């Protein structure tokens, strides 16, 4: 900024902070939403984890001298087993004895107590968690009961809930990436939900019929999945061709493809069922089940405790971010969206860029379809209905302008998360899904309104900038 | 009836109007003439309520009037016939004529009455147009006539016509002029803007000449006729002298040393419909070829065709002895041709992006790393270098180009082509809307590019600019090259303007 600009420190601070909030409005909104969700779900937490199990073991060892014998009580769930394993490990290393263990209901505790009494055994303590410590037989057993201390913490802000929220919306977020590209070019793609279903069904049908069904090799399953993605990408290329070569408005072109792809997915699914039943039996548009167990890995597996869909989503976001900020293609997309004519006169291959954008959008929808099919262990021809609207909402809430040229990949990630967090918050608060629609409708309107107001805000900011730079220049 | 008192209006970098006072009375036709950019269009936009003046007063019937919008001005009886057509192409002629409010009876369309009125209005203009025809099916001339009929239907008190005959045949033009006179005889007022001085002579009672946003001359032909009923003849040559005026205050940098070399760009028989007809010329290394003419003479079309942005019907372009395929701007840029478009904001720049991104857009292949990645350091270095050399004033490198002044925007466009190292530079109105200081710098860069051996085509509607900056000037009129000036520095501007206006040419539309 040139010298001679008189601006008070307070004024500058105010302007800068307003600027920062204005530029990162969606981040501010997301943080606010997380705070609200956290405050609304402030509950007593009773952790049942390996860490809390180890803590219980330490408590027991502090209270009674070795060799002491301990009864371990828990429910019959996955988490409880991990919990119990941690307790026993802790006791074992200190040389304590396990008098018995219970996985189940209060009734099972009574039976175990009777068994121990029956063989003349005894124990000095019961190790369990907060929930089982309330059970009748545990309280009346007559020995000290040890359970991890409970504490207060927002349910929303637990690792399990957060992973769950993101995992459930990973497919929306992945499609939103492709949609961001399309919207940046001032287009729209309504076919993504149908392409998702088509990709899933094609992957499932080919896995079952071409690559060996239950006996399919991982390579065969990968091929089936790639076929699904390729089909969706081809669909995108088709709408891209309509938009570029025949100048069909994107809305109409992708509306047609939306119905076409959905119909194809249903036809393929019905045909598969018919072949399964054999003969001329009526097929039904049910999900095409995939028998190979590995197929479910992508949608349900975890790496280091993080669900695979989240990892895939993160990888794709980083890749898309780099694509849009570091490559020629990214620059071209922004230029085409900002001003087609100027882009063309600057030598941007407009047609190729648009084709690539729609093709990529289809491919992203196809990837989401594979995730969906893997998660449900089969291709569902009815999957992804109305996804296009959720996805567009995520992109718009993320700050992209429907007029094109303005928007960021990071913004879309935040937009998708805003929608996920609101959904989760409303679910925890017990708001019915039909009531949630009202909230989302209002959210989208607010986001679009903000988009409309932005030019005015921007021009005011530009005036401020210009005014502050128009000091006399020689 | 309408009186303008000291009206001023300025846009960033330009004073479009400087204290212009004008009046037009009932039953009077005022002819308004001036060069391109003299301020005529701005004046019309202010009178029609499309824009508000920065200073001055508008009086209607002796009372101060401030028009809030075109609809407001229309309500008070001011009708404008624009250069750009304002018809809805999907609707019929009749529907277009009575599109505005006030024609229906309590919201119900009066079809039969409309039909009759439409026929009457079109007959007045001697146009053979079916009121039921869709406007999209009409020729440009017919659409222009519908536009005029639409204004006449309002029976306006003041009719403003901005180059109304550009698309009309001579017969249609004559009918229009008669209609304007008829309107005046019935007590209405009219402001008639035209480059065709013979039309002004045929229709105007008074003539006002605008130059550089100032009213430089006003001629009352009734007075000079000495009380007779008729009008004094117009001295067209003197009128043109007045329009061109003395030399502008803007100065032009001297020509840089450097000989004009062999032929670089050859254009042969370029034609496109009625807009460009058989245009041929050469530009040599180090030469600036000026292309003078009025708006709509086809100069921009020629540049766009050389650049591959528009397809010619016929014609060839050769660059350094190789024939070019005029398929896309991308190809033209690769061959070493670049364009500074007339409409910088609409065609030159992506306004929502930064100055740097705009600079880099056609040059990304030069900053490429690993095939597709953009090397941002090289990009930034190149941009800073040109930013310094061209003195592009930015607050920060990432500043959106929309917030820059016109001069700085044009410099961004120039910088991108300098980085590219083009062989041919097509400049279409390179200084339009740019203030005097930045103008001089842009002239310097044009000189420098020529001195580097580039071939420069300079399209300009400003006579002084094109004559002072060019080594040679071609004058275009109505799609054809009509004259060549070998020593532009010593040329007579009035003569050039005459050629550009088509005066003295055999095919010029004559108005009886």
Model confidence pLDDT, tens digit, residues B157-182: 899 988 887 667 677 778 888 888 88
Q: Do B376 and A326 touch (CB under 8 A)?
A: yes
Strand B373-374 to B368-369 pairing: antiparallel
Closest CA to B26 of B167, B183, B170: B183
Q: Do B329 and A338 touch (CB under 8 A)?
A: no
State yes or no: ipTM above 0.85: no
**Are residues B457 and B289 in contact, defined by beta-carbon separation less than 8 angstroms?**
yes
Q: What is the pLDDT along chain B (512 residues), one digit of tens a residue?
A: 888 888 888 876 567 788 888 889 888 999 998 876 678 878 888 888 888 888 888 888 888 877 778 778 888 888 888 766 678 888 888 888 887 766 777 777 788 888 888 888 888 877 778 888 888 887 777 787 788 888 888 888 899 988 887 667 677 778 888 888 888 888 889 999 887 778 888 889 999 998 888 888 888 887 766 555 567 777 777 787 787 765 444 578 888 887 888 999 999 999 988 889 999 999 999 999 999 987 778 899 999 999 999 999 999 999 999 999 888 999 999 999 999 998 888 888 998 899 999 999 998 888 888 888 888 889 999 999 999 888 888 877 778 888 887 888 899 999 999 998 889 999 998 987 776 677 888 999 999 999 999 999 999 888 888 998 999 999 998 889 988 888 888 888 888 888 887 776 544 333 33
Q: Do A342 and B400 touch (CB under 8 A)?
A: no
- Could you tell me if B436 lies within 8 Å of chain A, comparing CB atoms? no
Strand A125-127 to A69-74 pairing: parallel
B contact residues 63-102, partner A, Cβ 8 Å cutoff = none
Closest CA to A363 of A168, A182, A204: A182
Q: Do B349 and A349 touch (CB under 8 A)?
A: no
Which residues make beta-bridge pairs with B476? B293, B481
Distance CA A407, CA A385 (A): 25
Q: Domain limits of chain A?
A: 50-149, 161-461
Query: What confidence tier does A4 reach under pLDDT thresholds 50, 70, 90?
Result: very low
Which site among B309, B337, B338, B352 would you substitute to test the A interface, given the most A Cβ atoms closer than 10 Å to its Cβ?
B352
Question: What pLDDT was estimated at residue A472?
Answer: 38
Distance CA A138, CA A106 (A): 8
**Encoding tokens for residue B365?**
């292949």
Q: Do B353 and A346 touch (CB under 8 A)?
A: no
Which residue of chain B is at minimal alpha-carbon distance from A341?
B347
Model confidence pLDDT, tens digit, residues A390-413: 899 899 888 888 888 888 999 999
Closest CA to B6 of B22, B24, B29, B28: B22
Helix (H, G, I), strand (E, B) or coil at B134: strand
User: Which residues on chain A are in Cβ contact (under 8 Å) with B364?
Assistant: 328, 331-332
Backbone angles phi, psi at A54, to 5 degrees: -60, -35
Model confidence pLDDT, tens digit, residues A241-255: 999 999 999 999 999
**Encoding tokens for residue A98?**
């396990």
Distance CA A310, CA B117 (A): 70
With a CB cutoff of 8 Å and minimum separation 6, the contacts of B224 are B232
Residue A132 CA to its chain's centroid (Å): 33
With a CB cutoff of 8 Å and minimum separation 6, the contacts of A247 are none
Question: What pLDDT was estimated at residue A470?
Answer: 41
Question: What pLDDT was estimated at residue A457?
Answer: 58
User: Which residues on chain B are in Cβ contact (under 8 Å) with A346?
Assistant: 329, 333, 361-362, 416
With a CB cutoff of 8 Å and minimum separation 6, the contacts of B289 are B281, B283, B455, B456, B457, B458, B470, B471, B472, B473, B474
Which residue of chain B is at minimal alpha-carbon distance from A404?
B352
pTM for the complete prediction?
0.76
**Are residues B148 and B165 in contact, defined by beta-carbon separation less than 8 angstroms?**
no
CATH superfamily membership of A50-149: Response regulator (3.40.50.2300)
Question: What pLDDT was estimated at residue B333?
Answer: 92
- DSSP letter (8 states) at residue B262: S
**Encoding tokens for residue A162?**
């957060």
Long-range contacts of A57-61 (CB under 8 A, 24+ apart): A57/A86, A57/A87, A57/A88, A57/A89, A57/A90, A57/A91, A57/A94, A57/A127, A58/A90, A59/A127, A59/A146, A60/A91, A60/A96, A60/A125, A60/A127, A60/A146, A61/A90, A61/A91, A61/A94, A61/A96
Which residue of chain B is at minimal alpha-carbon distance from A342?
B347
Minimal Cα–Cα distance from A457 to chain B, Å?
Answer: 13
Q: Domain limits of chain B?
A: 2-244, 263-501
**Are residues A340 and B348 in contact, defined by beta-carbon separation less than 8 angstroms?**
no
Query: What confidence tier does A308 reach under pLDDT thresholds 50, 70, 90?
Result: very high
Distance CA A284, CA B84 (A): 59
Is the pLDDT at A53 greater than 50? The verdict is yes
A/B interface, count of CB pairs below 8 Å: 88
Q: Which residues of A touch B (CB under 8 A)?
A: 1, 326-332, 334-335, 338-339, 341-349, 405-406, 462, 465-466, 469, 473
Q: Do B361 and A406 touch (CB under 8 A)?
A: no
Question: What pLDDT was estimated at residue A242?
Answer: 95
A345: nearest CB among B347, B352, B402: B347
Q: Do B364 and A331 touch (CB under 8 A)?
A: yes
Q: Would you call B495 exposed, middle or buried from its count of C-beta atoms within 10 A (0-12, 13-18, 19+)? A: middle
Distance CA B100, CA B103 (A): 7
A335: nearest CB among B350, B372, B374: B350
- DSSP letter (8 states) at residue B283: E
- Could you tell me if B346 lies within 8 Å of chain A, comparing CB atoms? yes
| CATH value of A161-461 in 1.10.3470, 1.20.120, 1.10.357, 3.30.1490 | 1.10.3470
Question: What pLDDT was estimated at residue B512?
Answer: 33
Minimal Cα–Cα distance from A314 to chain B, Å?
Answer: 21
Q: Would you call A150 exposed, middle or buried from its count of C-beta atoms within 10 A (0-12, 13-18, 19+)? A: middle
Distance CA A194, CA A190 (A): 9
Q: Which of A13-22, A228-237, A353-362 is the least confident region? A: A13-22
Q: Do A343 and B350 touch (CB under 8 A)?
A: yes
Please compute, for residue A420, the number of CA atoms within 13 A of its CA located in the half-sphere on the CB side.
24
Q: Do A335 and B309 touch (CB under 8 A)?
A: no
Q: Do A331 and B372 touch (CB under 8 A)?
A: no
Report the pLDDT averaged over residues A90-113: 83
- DSSP letter (8 states) at residue B126: T
- DSSP letter (8 states) at residue B148: H
A466: nearest CB among B307, B373, B403: B403
Q: Would you call B18 exposed, middle or buried from its count of C-beta atoms within 10 A (0-12, 13-18, 19+)? A: middle
Q: Do B351 and A339 touch (CB under 8 A)?
A: yes
Question: What pLDDT was estimated at residue B426?
Answer: 95
User: Which residues on chain A are in Cβ contact (under 8 Å) with B376?
Assistant: 326
Question: What pLDDT was estimated at residue A471?
Answer: 38
User: Which residues on chain A are in Cβ contact (under 8 Å) with B307?
Assistant: 345
Closest CA to B73 of B149, B151, B21: B151
Is the pLDDT at A108 greater than 80? The verdict is yes
**Are residues B25 and B42 in contact, defined by beta-carbon separation less than 8 angstroms?**
no
The better pLDDT of the pair A214, B93 is held by B93
Helices (runs of H) and strands (runs of E) counted in chain A: 19, 10
A409, containing H or E segment = helix A409-428
- Could you tell me if B58 lies within 8 Å of chain A, comparing CB atoms? no
Minimal Cα–Cα distance from B53 to chain A, Å?
Answer: 20
Closest CA to A209 of A223, A188, A192, A190: A223
Which site among B345, B353, B365 would you substitute to test the A interface, given the most A Cβ atoms closer than 10 Å to its Cβ?
B353
Which residue of chain A is at minimal alpha-carbon distance from B344?
A342
Distance CA B276, CA B296 (A): 10
Which residues make beta-bridge pairs with B318? B266, B323
Which CATH fold topology does B2-244 show?
A: Rossmann fold (3.40.50)
With a CB cutoff of 8 Å and minimum separation 6, the contacts of A240 are A354, A355, A356, A357, A358, A359
- Could you tell me if B370 lies within 8 Å of chain A, comparing CB atoms? no
The yes/no answer on whether domain B263-501 falls in CATH 3.40.190.80 is no
Helix (H, G, I), strand (E, B) or coil at A145: strand
Query: What integer best gives the mean pLDDT of chain A?
Result: 85
| Neighbouring C-beta atoms of residue A120, cutoff 10 Å | 6
Report the pLDDT averaged over residues A68-90: 84
Is the pLDDT at A24 greater than 80? The verdict is no
Model confidence pLDDT, tens digit, residues A180-201: 999 999 999 999 999 999 999 9
Question: What pLDDT was estimated at residue A413?
Answer: 93
Distance CA B118, CA B115 (A): 5
């Amino acid at each position: 900024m040139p010298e001679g600009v008189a601006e008070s420190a307070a004024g500058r601070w105010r302007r800068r902070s307003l600027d920062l909030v204005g530029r990162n409005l969606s981040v501010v909104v997301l943080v606010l939403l997380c705070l609200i969700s956290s405050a609304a779900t402030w509950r007593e937490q009773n952790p049942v984890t390996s860490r809390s199990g180890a803590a219980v073991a330490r408590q027991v060892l502090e209270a009674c001298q070795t060799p002491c014998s301990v009864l371990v009580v828990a429910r019959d769930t996955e988490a409880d087993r991990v919990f119990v394993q941690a307790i026993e490990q802790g006791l074992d290393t200190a040389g304590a004895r396990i008098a018995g263990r219970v996985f189940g209901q209060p009734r099972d505790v009574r039976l175990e107590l009777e068994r121990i009494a029956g063989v003349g055994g005894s124990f000095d303590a019961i190790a369990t968690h907060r929930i089982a410590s309330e059970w009748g037989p545990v309280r009346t057993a007559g020995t000290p009961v040890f359970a991890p201390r409970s504490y207060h913490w927002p349910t929303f802000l637990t690792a399990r809930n957060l992973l769950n929220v993101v995992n459930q919306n990973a497919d929306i977020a992945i499609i939103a990436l492709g949609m961001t590209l399309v919207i940046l070019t001032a287009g729209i793609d309504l076919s993504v939900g149908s392409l998702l279903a088509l990709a899933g069904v094609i992957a499932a049908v080919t896995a079952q019929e071409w690559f060996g069904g239950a006996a399919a090799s991982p390579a065969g399953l990968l091929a089936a999945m790639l076929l699904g993605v390729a089909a969706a990408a081809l669909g995108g290329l088709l709408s891209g061709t309509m938009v570029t070569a025949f100048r069909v408005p994107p809305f109409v072109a992708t509306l047609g493809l939306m119905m076409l792809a959905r119909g194809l997915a249903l036809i393929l699914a019905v045909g598969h069922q018919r072949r399964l039943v054999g003969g001329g039996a009526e097929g039904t548009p049910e999900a095409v089940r995939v028998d190979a167990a590995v197929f479910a890995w992508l949608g349900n597996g975890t790496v280091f405790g993080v669900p695979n869909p989240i990892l895939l989503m993160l990888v794709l976001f980083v890749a898309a971010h780099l694509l849009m900020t570091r490559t020629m293609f990214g620059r071209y997309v922004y230029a085409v969206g900002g001003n087609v004519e100027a882009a063309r006169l600057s030598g941007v291959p407009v047609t190729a860029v648009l084709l690539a954008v729609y093709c990529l959008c289809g491919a992203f929808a196809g990837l989401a379809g594979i995730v969906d099919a893997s998660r449900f262990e089969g291709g569902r021809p009815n999957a992804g209905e109305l996804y296009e609207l959720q996805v567009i909402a995520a992109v718009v809430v993320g700050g992209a302008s429907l007029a094109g040229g303005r928007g960021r990949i990071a913004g879309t990630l935040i937009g998708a998360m805003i929608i996920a967090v609101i959904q989760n918050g409303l679910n925890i608060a017990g708001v019915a899904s039909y009531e949630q629609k009202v909230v989302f409708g209002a959210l989208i309107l607010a986001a679009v309104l903000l988009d409309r107001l932005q030019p005015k805000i921007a021009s005011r900011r530009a005036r401020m900038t210009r005014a502050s730079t128009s000091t006399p220049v020689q | 009836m309408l009186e303008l008192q000291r009206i001023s209006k300025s846009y960033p970098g330009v004073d479009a109007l400087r204290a212009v006072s004008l009046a037009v009375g009932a039953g009077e036709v005022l002819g308004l003439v001036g060069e391109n950019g003299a301020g005529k269009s701005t004046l019309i936009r202010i009178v029609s309520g499309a824009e508000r003046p920065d200073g001055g007063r508008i009086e209607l019937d002796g009372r101060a009037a401030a028009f809030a919008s075109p609809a407001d001005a229309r309500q008070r009886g001011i009708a404008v016939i624009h250069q750009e057509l304002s018809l809805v192409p999907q609707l019929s002629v009749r529907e277009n004529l009575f599109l505005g409010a006030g024609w229906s009876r309590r919201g119900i369309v009066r079809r039969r009455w409309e039909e009759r009125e439409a026929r009457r209005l079109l007959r007045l203009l001697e146009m053979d147009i079916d009121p039921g025809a869709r406007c999209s099916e009409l020729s440009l001339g017919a659409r222009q006539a519908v536009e005029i009929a639409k204004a006449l239907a309002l029976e306006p008190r003041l009719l403003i016509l901005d180059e109304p005959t550009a698309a009309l045949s001579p017969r249609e033009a004559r009918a229009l002029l008669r209609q304007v006179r008829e309107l005046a005889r019935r007590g209405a007022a009219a402001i008639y803007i035209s480059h065709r001085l013979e039309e002004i002579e045929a229709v105007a009672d008074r003539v006002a000449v605008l130059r550089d946003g100032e009213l430089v001359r006003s001629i009352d032909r009734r007075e000079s006729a000495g009380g007779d009923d008729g009008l004094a003849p117009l001295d067209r040559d003197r009128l043109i002298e007045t329009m061109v005026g003395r030399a502008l205050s803007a100065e032009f940098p001297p020509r840089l040393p450097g000989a004009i070399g062999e032929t670089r760009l050859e254009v042969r028989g370029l034609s496109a419909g009625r807009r460009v007809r058989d245009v041929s010329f050469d530009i040599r290394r180090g030469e600036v070829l000026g292309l003078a003419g009025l708006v709509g003479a086809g100069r921009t079309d020629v540049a766009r065709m050389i650049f591959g942005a528009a397809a010619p019907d016929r014609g060839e372009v050769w660059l350094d002895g190789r024939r070019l395929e005029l398929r896309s701007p991308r190809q033209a840029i690769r061959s070493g041709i670049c364009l500074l478009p007339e409409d910088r904001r609409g065609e030159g720049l992506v306004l929502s992006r930064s100055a740097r991104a705009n600079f880099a857009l056609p040059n990304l292949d030069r900053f490429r790393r690993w095939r597709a990645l953009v090397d941002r350091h090289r990009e930034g270095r190149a941009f800073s270098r040109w930013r310094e050399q061209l003195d592009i004033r930015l607050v920060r490198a990432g500043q959106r180009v929309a917030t820059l002044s016109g001069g700085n925007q044009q410099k961004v466009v120039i910088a991108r082509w300098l980085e590219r190292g083009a062989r041919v530079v097509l400049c279409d109105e390179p200084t339009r809307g740019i203030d005097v200081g930045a103008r001089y710098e842009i002239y310097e860069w044009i000189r420098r590019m020529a001195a580097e051996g580039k071939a420069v085509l300079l399209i300009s509607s400003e006579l002084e600019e094109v004559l002072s900056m060019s080594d040679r000037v071609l004058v275009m009129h109505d799609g054809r090259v009509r004259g060549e000036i070998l020593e532009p520095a010593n040329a007579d501007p009035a003569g050039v303007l005459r050629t550009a206006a088509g005066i003295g040419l055999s095919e010029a539309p004559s108005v009886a």
